[in-house]
């Protein structure tokens, strides 16, 4: 079965720096991969989607990369702010699974002033 691995340890960074979060998957490559943000006590909120034939996708201060050789996606937040503090989940969509996403456990990001 597919496994999604995200760094379980919290990432602590200083305001203004770039945060980089990692998502690794095993076995088959996903057709696409989504990233979500989850705040305590709330449901996840969609941020970005990257397709298997895309190397990079950007949205404002966010950037996602997708390396099918390494079986890895990286999620970057540039010029980070304390308001970016949250848990970030990666969710690949593998072929044949309807629209079912497999969610990683998430990485908690803490941006300190």
Residue ranges in contact with other proteins by CB under 8 A = 4, 31-32, 34, 41-46, 49, 51, 89, 93, 97-106
The answer to whether 47 touches 37, Cβ cutoff 8 Å, is yes
Helix (H/G/I), strand (E/B), else coil: 97: coil
Specify the DSSP class assigned to residue 83. Answer: G
Both structure tokens of 56: 């990079």
Neighbouring C-beta atoms of residue 93, cutoff 10 Å:
18
Both structure tokens of 6: 């995200």
* Closer of 40 and 113 to other proteins (Cβ): 40
Instruction: Report CA 109 to chain centroid distance, whole Å.
Output: 11
């Amino acid at each position: 079965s597919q496994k999604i691995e995200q760094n379980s340890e919290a990432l602590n960074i200083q305001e203004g720096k770039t945060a980089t979060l990692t998502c690794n998957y095993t076995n088959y490559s996903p057709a696409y991969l989504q990233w979500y943000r989850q705040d305590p006590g709330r449901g996840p909120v969609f941020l970005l989607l990257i397709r298997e034939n895309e190397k990079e996708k950007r949205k404002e201060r966010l950037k996602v990369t997708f390396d099918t050789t390494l079986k890895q996606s990286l999620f970057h937040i540039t010029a980070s702010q304390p308001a970016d503090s949250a848990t970030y989940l990666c969710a690949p969509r593998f072929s044949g699974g309807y629209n079912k996403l497999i969610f990683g456990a998430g990485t908690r990001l803490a941006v300190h002033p």
